[in-house]
Structure 1
Amino acid sequence: MQNSSKKLRLGVIGLGVMGKNHLRVLGLIPSAEVVGLCDNAMDAYEGHKVYRQVDTFLDEVTMDAAIIAVPTFLHRDIALKCMERGIHLFIEKPVASTVEEARSLASAVPAGIKTVVGHVERSNPVVKSLKKELDGKEIYSVAITRVGPFPPRIADVGILTDLAVHDVDLIRYITQREVISRHIFSSQKIHDHHEDNAILSFELEGDTIASIITNWLTPYKKRKIEVATAEGYFEADLINQQLKEFSSYRTNHSYLVRDCIVFKGEPLRHELEDFCDYCLHDKVSPNLASIEDSIRTLELVAR
């Protein structure tokens, strides 16, 4: 149900790293009001009461929307409980652990319930600037690197489901083209149960190719998108939010470099502001990912 006031009443379910980030950022958004917290491992957080049981939380707290930031394998069951109570949903990526779970969730969404999946890189200002720069240009290839040290908090999924889904979604979002075929090479080096090292390659519509290099073996974080077009070569740094265009190569090995304009900001705040606008004013931002978008990413990383 949609709140008629100017504030969207939100509950946050799951107070791990991402849940706490959501809570912090929601406190910065004038149109958002956090009305309750739920986590099965604590009774209080920063002076706020925390419900341990999801059912009790949903029965006792009146909210318009909920942020689901629990481990991935719990997404579907909690989302179904929320939707039964008419609550709009922001579900952290990926939407579910498997394609089958994601499809069953999508088919259960009642009319009038708004759902968003947290593919936050769509809301990164440098991605927005890159997409604007690419408008009308012929894209030859996209190469994305997303590497860094292993995060011990990630125990229930491997790097394909946790990290590669970001970039599969970005490839589809940036190019606005569908994947025709793909190949995945992965290995398990340090993770207890899942892959932690992968290279993915894609053939897209329009004779475009793409690749992703991702791992939890690199001692530093690197997040980079490189796009080759007919007009120039773009390099986007997602961490520092910097975008450069390289063009006009000459026979003396010189070329032009242009620093593209990027209006820096916190991607999660942009994403949550768009979600609030969607719930309160039915304003759908193209930067928001749908359950169907997330299903497609899961299909493309499935082994």
Structure 2
Amino acid sequence: MESSVPPRGAVIGLGMMGRHHARILQSNAAMRFAGAVDPGGDRFGAVADRARVFGTIEEMLAVERPEFAVVAVPTEEHLPAVRELTAAGVNVLVEKPVAATAAEAREIIGLVADAGLVGAVGHVERCNPALRELRRRLPDLGEVYSVATERVGPFPDRIRDVGVVKDLATHDLDLVRWLGGAPIARVAAQTSHRMGRDHEDLVLVTGRLANDRAFNCVVDWLTPRKIRETRVLGEGGMFVADTLNADLWFYANAHVSTGGWAADAARRGVAEGDVTKFALRREEPLAAELEAFCALVGGNDSAPVVTLAEGLETVVVAEAVLESAASGASVDLTGSAA
């Protein structure tokens, strides 16, 4: 049975993502704000009431018992935070990737299930208006042939604990599965280390889904221009989503001969179809993500969240990408236990 009372939520970690979760929790009518935890304090000024900022989860739980918490600490700290929160009966929305390793992700799933709670993963790109509309319109495309993503830009100095595969490419590996309509069955990858860090800063991934659709992802922290683009190619044409600006285009397959002079025909091809740019209703993706999780906490089992099991699946694929890059061989995931 769904509750009509907005649930109370806390934020664990007030860094780049956590501060935005705190902002929404304090301003969105679908939820109430219980407090925030960060040993470094509220350095971005994200919390209006300073009395609601705590140094540890233990300190917060001594004063506040939220119904849910957003875990927005560094990836390597996800599991300890979830252990403490689930022991206190707090539902968890864990920022992506759900954990540093598949083994830790499985432990998080067990902790949530054993406590009789609900959990989800913050793969916020699924809430991007352009991608939501693209997925809604996929039947218009007919048979899907391939999914391609490009997620490149300068290095964000805040990232210390993981490389580009687990921090950024997990967005794309999740989107490929979500838009492609089947689990990833095989990957082949190349990585580069160009900045002198322990972790990779560029990855190129190609692969195939269990339904035989192809995909490729280009992800790096080296490109001076930030690009976020997702393309889905099919028998009717191609969708192109610019997720930085939440814009969506459809390029229809050619029906009209270009004609014209020889140089123009060579440049355009033998024919071209119509191009449509869709007018979209734009909602902040992070707010949509939090609203969906609040609905889940309130008893709506069909709320459109990314499940912990899906989050685990993405980590398993990310580990296969790193394995492929290290070995130089493609990795078959059809027998993996996500």
Query: TM-score per shorter chain, which class?
Result: over 0.9
Q: Structure 1 residue 232: deviation in Å? A: 1.2
1:10 counterpart = 2:27:
no
Unpaired runs of 5+ residues, structure 1, are none
Change (3 A) 1:191 1:14: farther
Counterpart Cα distance in 1 of 2:138 and 2:131:
10
1:208 counterpart = 2:213:
yes
Q: Structure 1 residue 104: deviation in Å? A: 1.6
Task: Tell me which of 77, 81, 88 is aligned to 2:80.
Answer: 77
Q: Structure 1 residue 238: deviation in Å? A: 0.4
Q: Structure 1 residue 111: deviation in Å? A: 4.9
Taking the TM superposition and a 5 Å limit, the aligned residue runs for 1:36-75 are 36-42=35-41, 45=45, 46-49=48-51, 50-75=53-78
Counterpart Cα distance in 2 of 1:188 and 1:149:
14
Task: Tell me which of 315, 318, 322 is aligned to 1:298.
Answer: 315
Counterpart Cα distance in 2 of 1:262 and 1:4:
30
1:138 maps to: 143
Change (3 A) 1:239 1:191: farther
1:222 maps to: 227
Change (3 A) 1:207 1:86: same
Counterpart Cα distance in 2 of 1:116 and 1:206:
25
Counterpart Cα distance in 2 of 1:43 and 1:168:
32
Greater shift, 259-268 or 196-205, is seen at: 259-268
1:262 counterpart = 2:266:
no
Counterpart Cα distance in 2 of 1:294 and 1:24:
25
Tell me which amino acid in the other structure corresponds to 2:125. Answer: E
2:327 maps to: none
Task: Tell me which of 155, 165, 171 is aligned to 2:160.
Answer: 155
TM-score by length of 1: 0.94
Q: Structure 1 residue 58: deviation in Å? A: 2.1
Counterpart Cα distance in 1 of 2:300 and 2:2:
11
Q: Structure 1 residue 179: deviation in Å? A: 1.3
Residue deviations 1:94-127 (CA, integer Å, cap 9, x gap) = 1111111111221222253010100000111111
Deviating runs (4+, > 6 A) in structure 1? Answer: none
Taking the TM superposition and a 5 Å limit, the aligned residue runs for 1:98-177 are 98-109=101-112, 110-135=114-139, 137-177=142-182
1:87 maps to: 90
1:21 counterpart = 2:38:
no
Q: Structure 1 residue 281: deviation in Å? A: 3.3
Aligned positions, number: 301
Counterpart Cα distance in 2 of 1:107 and 1:213:
33
Query: Identity across aligned pairs (percent)?
Result: 34
**Contact (CA 8 Å) 1:3, 1:64: kept in 2 or not?**
no
Counterpart Cα distance in 1 of 2:42 and 2:122:
26
Taking the TM superposition and a 5 Å limit, the aligned residue runs for 1:184-203 are 184-190=189-195, 192-203=197-208
TM-score by length of 2: 0.85
1:233 maps to: 238
Residue deviations 1:206-247 (CA, integer Å, cap 9, x gap) = 321000000000112110001111111111110111111111
Query: Quick check: which has more Rg, 1 or 2?
Result: 2
Q: Structure 1 residue 33: deviation in Å? A: 1.0
Superposed CA RMSD: 1.8
